[in-house]
Amino acid sequence: MSKLVQLVYISRSNLPEMGRNDIIAPQVAQILSKSRRNNRARRIVGALYYGNGYFYQCLEGEEKDLLALYETLKADSRHTDLLIVSFTPIEQKSFGEWEMKYVPAEKDINRMLSAFGMSKFDPYRFDERMNKQMLQLLLRGSELAQNEIALGDQAVPVQKCACREWKLATLVLAVLLCAGLIRQVIS
């Protein structure tokens, strides 16, 4: 019998720093693109946060598939020092149909860090409470992406649509907003 699990891990990036956490590095965009294709085939869903040279990722799927994926991740030269934060059985997946959602929750994460007396994102210093809060931010970011488009501090609701093209268009718009490219088009 197959078993659904949630795997949360952290790692240190070997990617060149972009200088600003709100810009998606081209290498991170490539990771997201490849992850979405591979995860779709494995029926794995999840979310990724990248900040201050660290990855924080939550993956959900069949236990055997996640364990195989984790072995692949350990061999990936784009990051080091992989550490499993949690490996928990779940009843159902939390991220809907998102094969890999990138969560640009910089302001929320900075508020969380400040509440815990931290000035920079360093998941290796997180305790259990901080990991729970971070996971909630990833989950909320997933819900935000499915139900609304973030525009600065505001969120604009969008109608639910089952078509994949609408989800892809929403994701592309969110990435462009995060990268600051939309401002150039609008201004």
Instruction: Dig out the tokens for 68 from the structure.
Output: 């195989």
CATH no. for residue 60? 3.30.70.100
- Predicted pLDDT at 76: 85
Comparing CA positions, the residue from 68, 86, 76 lying closest to residue 12 is 76
Query: Is residue 97 assigned to a domain?
Result: yes
Q: Determine the Cα–Cα distance for residues 42 and 112; give it in Å rounded to an integer.
A: 33
Query: Is residue 166 assigned to a domain?
Result: no
Query: Is residue 167 assigned to a domain?
Result: no
**CB-CB contact of 102 with 18 (8 Å):** no
10-residue mean pLDDT profile of the chain (187 residues): values are 88 72 57 69 84 90 93 88 94 76 75 92 95 88 44 37 51 65 45
Query: Is residue 184 assigned to a domain?
Result: no
Query: Is residue 182 assigned to a domain?
Result: no
pLDDT tens for each residue of 23-50: 445 666 667 666 766 777 788 888 888 8
Residues of the domain holding 108: 4-145
Query: Is residue 165 assigned to a domain?
Result: no
- Predicted pLDDT at 171: 66
Task: State the DSSP code for 123.
Answer: G
- Predicted pLDDT at 100: 66
**CB-CB contact of 54 with 121 (8 Å):** yes
- Predicted pLDDT at 9: 94
Angle (CA) 124 175 185, round 5°: 140
